[in-house]
Structure 1
Amino acid sequence: MDKLPVEILTSILDLLAPREKVQLQSVSKKFFDIARDNNQWRLHCYEQSWAAKQASRRAARAETLVSDAASLTTLGQDSLRDLIEPSIQEDHEEAGVSWGERARAATEWDTSTEGEHVDWYSEYIARQGPVSLSWIEQPSAPGGKGKQECAYEVKGMGLLKDWSSARQNKIVAPLEDGSVCIWDLNHAHCASSQAKKGSILGRSEPGILTTNLSGRRESAPSKTALEFINLGEGVSVDSLRQRAYLAIGNVLNEVDLNTLRVVSQQRYPWSIFALSQETDYSVPLTLATTLSLQIYDSRLSAVEEEEAISSRCEQVSISAPELGIFAHPDSPLLQLQPNGQPPTRIRSPEPSEKGANYAPLFQPGPLSILHPPAPHVNTILLAGRFPSILCYDRRFFPRLQKTVHSGGRICGLASVPGPRFPVFSDSVYPESHSVVACGDYNGRGSLELYNLKSAEHNTPPDRTSNLDSEYKNRQSAASSRLLSVGSHGTRIVFSDAEGNIKWTERDGRSEVRRWNINTSQPQIHFGGRQERSGEEPRGLWPSQSPGSHEVARKILPTGGNLTGDELLVWTGERIGRLKFSIPAEYQKEEEEDDDDTFMHAEVDEATREEMRHRQREDWEREQYGDYMRRALERQADEVRWMGNRGLG
């Protein structure tokens, strides 16, 4: 077999099923390369998609109608069945289609942009592989004498990316006691590193986020200044500078992740509701308060800026050519202000200052800020409880450039495809991006797509990008409000208020798969410890058990492949890792079964496969039972609610 040409081997491997191709990868390096062919796995992704199934059904229906249109009276029982159920002939139709036709259909279905690299093997696993959920290590406070430890709630989530070959990513989050915690999220393949995933790497002193570093006593301190808004958009991480920006009430804390100390603290007159996330280019942070949109330039803290400006003014002559004064040629050129004073800070001043450089909001309730990927480096998009998306240009800030009407209340914004890391000098950026928004419209979930493209020549000179509405899915997205959205591979992922996490194609219509975090039993916690209450009620009429009504307030794709392709889930109290693999306890059971079989050499491969299949069936049966139990409990709650409604 190894001596055959690659073309012949590829044709032979095309007849194998995806599971058989996975097993073939362990035979040799040559078979590994052939079995990992990207075009082959893209074809497998297409064949399992909704578009391929619809095309197959249409082809089967058309051929059946044409062949049997002459005489319907002579049709037999089998032909009538085929006419009523044309999907039976799908496999026969696919078998008669050539590889070239299938490849062309897959190319037309592929929604990846030009220059975007997609690992279709990892994409197939994310689309068709098993899903498991595990919770990272929960920080806790030591209990007193005879008392148990008290677990702290996690008040947000951010991802610190490592762009080196080590891929030592980390999770950053604030805790309810005002401290900052960091978890391990490495992408290593070795067993020892994988076992450390989800463990706590470091934790700061408590209260550093709620301490007033200005040294000034407030006459009437606001209560909200010490409280978390708890909306999910109050954490932003700068991976290049190793800094995290954490918003608590009206206070923005800048934390050095190497020392876990607050290096800068900025207070605003209103509560902070949203922070911009990391992009593939370096720009100042944008934050939205209750009634304003502001730019926070974190390149220098306020004290550092004032010291730098004063030191430059003392050592360097201010350049004023009209007065015959010139700066030193080796020093930076500093220009006087119109009033003759030295240069001021580059950050946005306080809103209370005269001539403040901030954008006022006519309606309160901002919830999400988006900095689109390159080349839209000057664009800022803001959405929230108001019915429009606001578009700003950083060069002409705070002037409002454009508003795009939505009609719904938007909770989250994301760009599709997402930012690429790392960015190379020869990177080719597409002319247009898709901006996806999630929220609700008249009580139902709303998934909206917008087209963001570079401005044309006939547009105003102060506008670099145009945002136009493209598609709004307000029928099949969800029956409840959508809470968070992101770009996950070649798919769009979003969460709703019922605990569902759904994946759709980039068109926003075709659903790929779904997962509910409340039905993922058993849920494995850090260290393989299984937490399952033995007193969990299973009757029809009792109310739902604690922990069965969690929702994903924020979802965050990690952007990895294979073992690194995970989805971080924040429920408002803890963080979970949604992985595309079999749960750890079942893997362990399979390994033990394999070891025992190998030692005794009495059970053949068919018996081992039967054992794995039986374990898989038991797991799926248990999941189905939990799902039906929760469905019946919800129905019972609805019956009681409707009955009590008439009793006042």
Structure 2
Amino acid sequence: METPTLETLPLELALQVMSYLTPHDVVAVLGTSRRLRAICRDDGFWRSLCFDNSRLASTLRRRNWRQNNSRPQTFKARRIEIRAAWNSVFEHDEPATWYDEYIQRHAPLVTNWFELPRRRDGSRLLDNADVLEVCGVALYRPLGADTATSGEVTNENVDGSDERNIQLCGIPTLLAVAPLEDGSVCLWDVNGTIKRRGAIVQQSTPGLLFAGLQDGTQDPSKRTPVFSVTECVAVDSSQNLAYFAVESRLVEVDLQTLSVIGVEPGPLSIIHVQEYGSEDTISNDIFAAGRISSILHYDRRKVSVVKSAIHSGASLSGLASIPYPFPAIEDYSRLKKSHAWTSQSTGRTVVACGEYKSKGSLELYPVDEGQLNEPMVNRQTSSSAKIFSVASHGRRLAISDGTGFIRWFERDGFTEVRRCTLGGDDYVEAGDQEEEAERRMATEAQEPRHHGTHHNSNGPLGTEMGDIARKLLATKTGSHGSTGKDSFENNDLLFWTGEKLGLLSFSPKPGSRAVDFVEETKSAAERDAEMEGNLYRARMRHLFKSARRFGEDSDSDD
């Protein structure tokens, strides 16, 4: 009789066998055959792993979720109820690939910094004075752009690694749009389908966004920065238009020609809420926040009249939306069967963030009329400092706060999934090359004594990490970027620090740095010569400092 294998077992038995394997072992088995690939990508299996490894499950275990009931049948039924409530919002026809979800909850995070924009004066200088600050960011998905297919477009550098010619099958073109401090508009390649990932695709002439402001006092290219709000840019990808809040005006720019086509007064930070069940279809509901302690609701068919208002009481700084309702369960540990999510409501959720009495505030509001759910407001455990931005990221909420953390929460707004800080960027300012070379010498001298120590891959020699994300954007929403269920969909997180852009990716490979884009323009001989020169100057300066200290310590009269 032939011995049964994992591949020949029925699905239920195969899943039971897989439950004894670690996630790394399951991934190793996944690539052996099509049958095992289908088994190892089972949504129920990975959803169970996501729940078992969640902070909620560990909290419930500490609280003794069996509630002093030792009957195995009762324990199993209660576990099923709690797990169903944990992500009950996903049962409303929302597509979910739990293999991807597990990766985004537990895979290593790496920071990829974007190319730094430079002042356009006819020449491209490399000193620090030439770098321009980024004053906001939004995502642009050109509908007319071709999607990268096998054999057409290659990504020169994926996740900051040195691998070349990695094909991007089915990856759509995605661009980051931002105003710069000189009034120009800059476009970056986010997915790497046009140029290298994070590289600048196009930059307009200086003063483009200031040309429509009729003050007549100075050259538009000589104006000072006037971008004072976080949500100062919005993009309409279907019409290839971008809207920039500049002083008291809203400047409309054609992203295909990078030219101003109109200037509407009184800009507001707004969000268009999607239709129920669709990330791609925009409804008529518009919500605005940021100037008063309430969220204003407009109908875009009649935007001159406020349809309704939601009082928050907090100083709000960001909005996001989810085309699904959120669970109205306050305490999972007291969940009863009658409280399980069974409603067929078509509700949607508006997520707001900001500051309340010097602490962070994370707020979820139902937006459909007639819905019975109460709003959820977390002003205790969301953050100890102001929350700058919030984004719907996969099946989680991502926030950035004033403490420098990026945190992920379940959609209940209370249960934290994971957190991280941004990896440092090792861009060297003008005049600091010698200091950088001296630090490199010191580290190389210590390497034999600290063999095997892992340095931060995002910046050499443990670059200090002090960047704070002012705005977060998920690079994949709805069907955009979907490459099918047989491949992992990289739902990276684009961030803006107030000065520059970067990307948080889920990868064990080292991240990219802004200096990499400058170094690529140099030949190998030029890079070697520059490094040798920096090391030589660092050694000489070290010798002079040693000689000076020797002279100060000497008691000789000579």
TM-score, with structure 1 as normaliser: 0.58
Could you list the per-position Cα deviations for residues 536-592 of structure 1 after superposition, in whole angstroms to 9, with x for gaps in the alignment?
8x9xxxxxx997432211111112574521101101110010111124279xxxxxx
Change (3 A) 1:61 1:104: closer
Instruction: Say if 1:524 and 1:583, in contact at 8 Å, map to a contact too.
Output: no
Give the equivalent residue in structure 1 for 2:19.
14
Q: How far apart, in 2, do the equivalents of 1:406 and 1:550 lie? A: 29
State the one-letter code of the partner of 1:37. D
Once the 2 structures are TM-superposed, how far is the Cα of residue 471 of structure 1 from its aligned partner? Answer: 1.8
Confirm whether residue 572 of structure 1 aligns to residue 498 of structure 2. Answer: yes
Which of 528, 532, 554 aligns to 2:471? It is 554
Give the equivalent residue in structure 1 for 2:139.
159
Change (3 A) 1:513 1:212: same
Instruction: Say if 1:155 and 1:175, in contact at 8 Å, map to a contact too.
Output: yes
Confirm whether residue 447 of structure 1 aligns to residue 373 of structure 2. Answer: no
Q: How far apart, in 2, do the equivalents of 1:403 and 1:221 lie? A: 42
- Structure 2 SS opposite 1:514: strand
Give the equivalent residue in structure 1 for 2:270.
276
Q: How far apart, in 2, do the equivalents of 1:142 and 1:229 lie? A: 20
Which of 485, 490, 507 aligns to 2:395? It is 490
Could you list the per-position Cα deviations for residues 212-257 of structure 1 after superposition, in whole angstroms to 9, with x for gaps in the alignment?
38xx775899999864323221111111112222222233222222
Instruction: Say if 2:271 and 2:320, in contact at 8 Å, map to a contact too.
Output: no
Instruction: Say if 1:236 and 1:278, in contact at 8 Å, map to a contact too.
Output: no
Change (3 A) 1:260 1:532: farther
Larger Rg: 1
Once the 2 structures are TM-superposed, how far is the Cα of residue 404 of structure 1 from its aligned partner? Answer: 2.4
Change (3 A) 1:533 1:550: farther
Which of 99, 107, 118 aligns to 2:84? It is 107
Could you list the per-position Cα deviations for residues 602-648 of structure 1 after superposition, in whole angstroms to 9, with x for gaps in the alignment?
xxxxxxxxxxxxxxxxxxxxxxxxxxxxxxxxxxxxxxxxxxxxxxx
Give the equivalent residue in structure 2 for 1:48.
53
Give the equivalent residue in structure 2 for 1:209.
209
Once the 2 structures are TM-superposed, how far is the Cα of residue 207 of structure 1 from its aligned partner? Answer: 2.1
Q: How far apart, in 1, do the equivalents of 2:324 and 2:492 lie? A: 15
Change (3 A) 1:532 1:418: farther
Change (3 A) 1:396 1:435: same
Confirm whether residue 252 of structure 1 aligns to residue 250 of structure 2. Answer: yes
Q: How far apart, in 1, do the equivalents of 2:282 and 2:211 lie? A: 37
Instruction: Say if 2:270 and 2:286, in contact at 8 Å, map to a contact too.
Output: no
- Structure 1 SS opposite 2:189: strand
State the one-letter code of the partner of 1:509. F
- Structure 2 SS opposite 1:377: strand
Q: How far apart, in 1, do the equivalents of 2:293 and 2:389 lie? A: 17
Once the 2 structures are TM-superposed, how far is the Cα of residue 438 of structure 1 from its aligned partner? Answer: 0.7
Confirm whether residue 25 of structure 1 aligns to residue 30 of structure 2. Answer: yes
Q: How far apart, in 2, do the equivalents of 1:47 and 1:382 lie? A: 38
Q: How far apart, in 1, do the equivalents of 2:322 and 2:115 lie? A: 31
Could you list the per-position Cα deviations for residues 80-133 of structure 1 after superposition, in whole angstroms to 9, with x for gaps in the alignment?
xxxxxxxxxxxxx99x976x8755543232132511101111111111111111
Which of 401, 411, 416 aligns to 1:511? It is 416
Could you list the per-position Cα deviations for residues 173-195 of structure 1 after superposition, in whole angstroms to 9, with x for gaps in the alignment?
1222222211112277xxxx8x8
Give the equivalent residue in structure 2 for 1:305.
none
Q: How far apart, in 1, do the equivalents of 2:109 and 2:364 lie? A: 27
- Structure 2 SS opposite 1:9: helix
State the one-letter code of the partner of 1:247. A
State the one-letter code of the partner of 1:107. A
Q: How far apart, in 2, do the equivalents of 1:225 and 1:563 lie? A: 42
Could you list the per-position Cα deviations for residues 271-292 of structure 1 after superposition, in whole angstroms to 9, with x for gaps in the alignment?
x4x34356658xxxxxxxxxxx
Q: Percent identity over the alignment?
A: 35
State the one-letter code of the partner of 1:231. V
Which of 121, 127, 130 aligns to 1:148? It is 127
Once the 2 structures are TM-superposed, how far is the Cα of residue 32 of structure 1 from its aligned partner? Answer: 1.0
Give the equivalent residue in structure 2 for 1:368.
none
Once the 2 structures are TM-superposed, how far is the Cα of residue 376 of structure 1 from its aligned partner? Answer: 8.3
Once the 2 structures are TM-superposed, how far is the Cα of residue 16 of structure 1 from its aligned partner? Answer: 1.7
Q: How far apart, in 1, do the equivalents of 2:398 and 2:86 lie? A: 18
- Segments of structure 2 that go 5 or more residues without pairing to the other structure are 148-169, 326-343, 443-461, 483-487, 513-558
Q: How far apart, in 2, do the equivalents of 1:166 and 1:401 lie? A: 39
Instruction: Say if 1:452 and 1:468, in contact at 8 Å, map to a contact too.
Output: no
Bigger RCO (CA 8 Å, 6+ sep): 2
Once the 2 structures are TM-superposed, how far is the Cα of residue 496 of structure 1 from its aligned partner? Answer: 0.8
Residues 460-475 of structure 1 mapped to structure 2, 5 A cutoff: 470-475=375-380
State the one-letter code of the partner of 1:253. V
Which of 4, 8, 15 aligns to 2:9? It is 4
Confirm whether residue 502 of structure 1 aligns to residue 403 of structure 2. Answer: no
- Structure 1 SS opposite 2:50: helix
Q: How far apart, in 1, do the equivalents of 2:28 and 2:100 lie? A: 15
Q: How far apart, in 2, do the equivalents of 1:224 and 1:450 lie? A: 43
Q: How far apart, in 2, do the equivalents of 1:534 and 1:15 lie? A: 50
Q: How far apart, in 2, do the equivalents of 1:184 and 1:535 lie? A: 34
Change (3 A) 1:502 1:232: same
Once the 2 structures are TM-superposed, how far is the Cα of residue 439 of structure 1 from its aligned partner? Answer: 0.8
Give the equivalent residue in structure 1 for 2:41.
36
Structure holding more helix per residue: 1
Which of 294, 304, 307 aligns to 1:401? It is 307
State the one-letter code of the partner of 2:411. R
Which of 263, 270, 274 aligns to 1:266? It is 263
Residues 209-228 of structure 1 mapped to structure 2, 5 A cutoff: 209-212=209-212, 227-228=225-226
Instruction: Say if 1:439 and 1:446, in contact at 8 Å, map to a contact too.
Output: yes
Instruction: Say if 1:187 and 1:563, in contact at 8 Å, map to a contact too.
Output: no
Could you list the per-position Cα deviations for residues 1-50 of structure 1 after superposition, in whole angstroms to 9, with x for gaps in the alignment?
33333343233223222121111111111111110111111111111112
- Structure 2 SS opposite 1:404: strand
Give the equivalent residue in structure 1 for 2:553.
none
Once the 2 structures are TM-superposed, how far is the Cα of residue 521 of structure 1 from its aligned partner? Answer: 4.7
Give the equivalent residue in structure 2 for 1:632.
none
Residues 534-553 of structure 1 mapped to structure 2, 5 A cutoff: 548-553=465-470
Once the 2 structures are TM-superposed, how far is the Cα of residue 417 of structure 1 from its aligned partner? Answer: 4.3
Q: How far apart, in 1, do the equivalents of 2:280 and 2:30 lie? A: 37
Give the equivalent residue in structure 1 for 2:62.
57
Confirm whether residue 388 of structure 1 aligns to residue 386 of structure 2. Answer: no
Which of 91, 95, 115 aligns to 1:117? It is 95
Change (3 A) 1:60 1:390: closer
State the one-letter code of the partner of 1:477. S
Change (3 A) 1:533 1:510: farther
Instruction: Say if 1:440 and 1:446, in contact at 8 Å, map to a contact too.
Output: yes
Give the equivalent residue in structure 2 for 1:609.
none
- Structure 2 SS opposite 1:512: strand
- Segments of structure 1 that go 5 or more residues without pairing to the other structure are 68-92, 282-371, 420-428, 457-465, 539-544, 587-648
Q: How far apart, in 1, do the equivalents of 2:220 and 2:200 lie? A: 32
Q: How far apart, in 2, do the equivalents of 1:375 and 1:260 lie? A: 26
Instruction: Say if 1:522 and 1:532, in contact at 8 Å, map to a contact too.
Output: no
